[in-house]
Structure 1
Amino acid sequence: MRTLTATVENFPIQEVFRISRGEKTVARVVTVTVSENGVTGRGECVPYGRYDESPRSVCEQIELARGAVESGIGIDELQNLLPPGAARNAVDCALWDLTARTADRSVAELADLTGELHPVLTAYTLSLDTPERMGAAAQRHGHLPILKVKLGGTGDLERVGAVRTAAPTARLILDANESWTPEQVQQFTPVLHEMRVELIEQPLPADDDDFLLSFDSPVPLAADESCRDLATLEKVADRYAIANIKLDKTGGLTEALRVERAARSMGLKTMTGCMVATSLSMAPGVVLAQRTDFVHLDGPMLLAGDRFPALRYVGALVHPADGGVWAP
């Protein structure tokens, strides 16, 4: 007999995590377990307020799917049972974990990846703050090779300038979280190109980015909020050079792998993204990251304490799951 559980858990964050839409000090996640014949698979999601999700709404969605999941549906059937989003992500990843453990097969094999999973290099996030504080944060973390800088509009050139001065050798990627205007895109991007910025995520609101159809950005632009699932890719390809794929948006590893393949076929580069969450959220992301050009899986690095067992982080190098927190 198969059983499903869904639990809300809180993980304190080391420091205030701040983006253009707000700040938080705790990562609230929903953890799903699916158990069958003495084997348990687990998945984790972060309800995404940007898409009107909350822990309560996610748990309600999962509860609606309980009967079908406990009756034995598989990963493919799940895609039609729940919409893209956090709820489906947690259940999808739990079923991947359960399937791999039950079949005694690696996740890489189930995902049709060649060879074993390899460690990946993640970007590390600097929260939105004053230029002085962001410069100080960059100095503290300047030993890490890739810094992801959260931005918020006015004052962003000063923020990036402070980070670049404090971490002159780091690779920089930026995330505006929909906070810029078209005028700021035009003004900022040539200067940021001179600062050796490698990409800028979601400068304009997802529903108001037509300006990008005719703008030739000197810095590659990545779609985050504009890129949710397969259905959004056609619009993304006309405006952006990179698709940021997050499992909490796609609704799990299954759709994320499909989005990555489709993005490649459209000529887009790809990025594995994450929310602030534990190793249980990152582990399926490491599978996706085997295929993507950029990787952002630093969630546990921002927490005051991760799960145990957890993924192994060596500096910014994230090692694949070994069967502890998730299937190998």
Structure 2
Amino acid sequence: MNDPIEITLAKNKKPKRDPNQLTFGTYFTDHMFMMDYTPENGWHQPRIVPYAPITLDPAAVVFHYGQAVFEGMKAYRTKDDRVLLFRPEKNMKRINLSNERLSIPPVDEAFLVEAIKKLVTIEKDWVPKEPGTSLYIRPFIIGTEPYLGVHPSRTYMFMVILCPVGAYYPEGINPVKIYVESKYVRAVNGGTGHTKTSGNYAASFKAQEEAQRQGCAQVLWLDGVEKAYVEEVGSMNVFFKINGEVVTPALNGSILAGVTRDSVIQLLKNWGIPVTERKISMEEVYQAHAAGTLEEAFGTGTAAVISPIGGLIWKDTEMTINEGKAGALSMKLYDTITGVQNGEIDDPFGWTVEVK
């Protein structure tokens, strides 16, 4: 990618929302990043333009065959008014993993990190400063060729949009109850479970509706073959602390390699806490609960960082974990990662990237 980024600034700026009333994914900044792909020119014409609707042919491949990938990351404002990104190179590496599986041409990862930094620099005023708030960053790619035939698109559009978001836990971290899904499956080895592609999420809606009917906040997904082994919780990776050891499902081809997941594993190893990536069955979780050795459980992801699990509903059994309270390890992980993200504590791993 040798093309310079063209910048067209918005003439009319949007009013900023009250940072104490920000919700997730509903209000967007003044500008967005775009670039296009054609077989003749590759990825070209990178540009930052005013946020606006886009026009696509009704026959575009993305509408009919779901050729789309995306990422999710955040920018944080520190107390001394710096703006930090958290491990953006990991997100760009992962979008190329998704691209490879969805037959989308690869992107220049280093260039895109710089493009995102430039976009965030232009939108710096949109990065909220209140505790727990951030600027959510959504890069995505869609197939745009107008063709009703089952083959990869020949043309693509890459975009990045930004959204200021409020604190995920405005009233403090409250552990959630989780419904273990035994009918529907999220993904199988060889499928697209290890990618961030739109269809993975659309396919999860039905199970989420059932979880809500059960009075639960999220779904715990089991493997797609035996429906016995734990995979993910909602759109997050999941961890269990059993008798002093932290266990998380191994990346087996159907589980997303979460950036927060990797950060948690590195922190646990650094702290000398045993952490293992392996298969773990719901039966093992159940037996650990019955024996009193299931000490904590939590999900990890960009939005919540750490989401403590206070209970599980599996078949006809309801298991309460740590008396339904957030565990000490969950809170330590949350405080450490958010502290690094917000520039409040040391960053020994070099995870943050400052936006100048």
Q: TM-score range by the shorter chain?
A: under 0.3
Structure-2-length-normalised TM-score: 0.26
Structure (1/2) with the larger helix percentage: 1
Rg bigger for which structure?
A: 2
Instruction: Judging by fraction of residues, say which structure has more strand.
Output: 2
